[in-house]
Amino acid sequence: MSYKLQFAELLPYWNVLLYGLVFTIVLTIVSTVVGIAVGTAGAAARTFGPGWLGRIVAVYVELIRNTPFIVQLFFIFFGLPALGLKLSETTAAFLAMVINLGAYSTEIIRAGIEAVPKGHIEAGLSLAMSKWEVLRHIVLNQAFRKIYPALSSQIIIVMLGSAVVSQISAEDLTYAANYIASRNFRNFEVYLLVALAYLLLAMLTRSLLRALGRVIFKAR
Amino acid sequence: MSLVSIRDVRKSFGPNEVLKGVSLDIAKGDAVAIIGRSGSGKSTLLRCINGLETYQSGSIVADGIEVAGANTNLRELRRHVGMVFQQFNLFPHLTAAENVMLAPTVVNKVSKAEARATAAEVLAKVGLSEKMDAYPSELSGGQQQRVAIARSLAMRPKVLLCDEITSALDPELVNEVLRVVEQLAREGMTLILVTHEMRFARDVGTKLVFMHHGKVHEEGAPKEVFAAPRTPELQQFVGQVG
Ligand SMILES: Nc1ncnc2c1ncn2[C@@H]1O[C@H](COP(=O)(O)OP(=O)(O)OP(=O)(O)O)[C@@H](O)[C@H]1O
Ligand SMILES: [Mg+2]
Mutation pick from B49, B80, B87, B137 vs chain A, by most beta carbons of A within 10 Å, is B87
Give yes or no for a contact between B200 and B33, defined as CB atoms under 8 angstroms apart. Answer: yes
Least CB–CB distance from B92: residue in A124, A137, A142: A142
| Residues 19-38 in A contacting B (C-alpha not used; CB under 8 Å) | none
A145 contact B CB<8A? yes
Of residues B193, B188, B189, B190, the one with CA closest to residue B178: B193
Ligand 1: centre distance to CA B212 (Å): 12
Please tell me if the CB atom of residue B38 comes closer than 6 angstroms to any atom of ligand 1: yes
Mind listing the pLDDT tens digit for each residue in B83-133? 999 999 999 999 999 999 999 999 999 999 999 999 999 999 999 999 999
> In which residue ranges of chain A is pLDDT below 70?
1, 219-220
Residue B24 banded pLDDT, cuts 50, 70, 90:
very high
The closest of B133, B158, B161 to B147, measured between CA atoms, is B133
| pLDDT confidence of residue A219 | 54
Compute the mean pLDDT over every residue in chain B, rounded to the nearest whole number.
Answer: 95
By 3-state DSSP, what share of chain A in percent is helix, strand and coil, each rounded to 5? Answer: 85, 0, 15
Nearest-10 crossing angle of helices B96-106, B112-125: 130
CA-closest residue to ligand 1 atom 18: B41
pTM: 0.91
Structural domains of chain A in order of their starting residue, each with its CATH number: 7-216 (1.10.3720.10)
- Written as one letter, the residue type at B237 is F
User: A122–B89: do the CB atoms touch at under 8 Å?
Assistant: yes
Choose among B74, B93, B106: nearest Cβ to A141.
B93
pLDDT value of position B38:
95
Q: Is the pLDDT at B242 greater than 70, yes or no?
A: no
CB burial string B39-60: b at 16+ within 10 A, e below: ebbbbbbbbbbbbbbebeebeb
For residue range B199-216, what is the model confidence (pLDDT) as tens digits? 999 999 999 999 999 999
Which ligand 1 atom sits nearest the alpha carbon of residue B164? 27
What is the three-class DSSP state of A66?
A: coil
Report whether B4 contacts B60 (CB < 8 A). Answer: yes
Residue of A150, A140, A152, A154 lying closest to A65 (CA atoms): A154
Q: So what's the pLDDT on residue B110?
A: 97
Which residue's C-alpha comes closest to atom 8 of ligand 1?
B44
Q: How many CA atoms lie within 13 A of B27 on its CB side?
A: 4
Q: Which residues contact A6 (CB under 8 A, 6 or more apart)?
A: A186, A189
What domain range is B59 assigned to? Answer: 4-241
Mean pLDDT for B166-190 is: 96
Q: How many domains does chain B have?
A: 1
Q: Find the mean pLDDT for residues B62-86.
A: 92
Mention every residue, 6+ apart, whose C-beta is less than 8 A from residue A15: none
CATH number of the domain residue B116 falls in: 3.40.50.300
> Can you state the angle between helices A187-216 and A14-48, rounded to 10 degrees?
40
Q: Cβ(B40) to ligand 1 under 6 A?
A: yes
Which residue owns the Cα nearest ligand 1 atom 2? Answer: B13
Q: What is the pLDDT of residues B30-59, one digit of tens each?
A: 999 999 999 999 999 999 999 999 999 999
Which residue, judged by its Cα, is nearest atom 29 of ligand 1?
Answer: B39
Whole-number pLDDT of residue B101? 98
Predicted local distance difference test score (pLDDT) of residue A142:
94
Q: Which atom of ligand 1 is nearest to the CA of B45?
A: 18
Q: What was the pLDDT predicted at B71?
A: 81
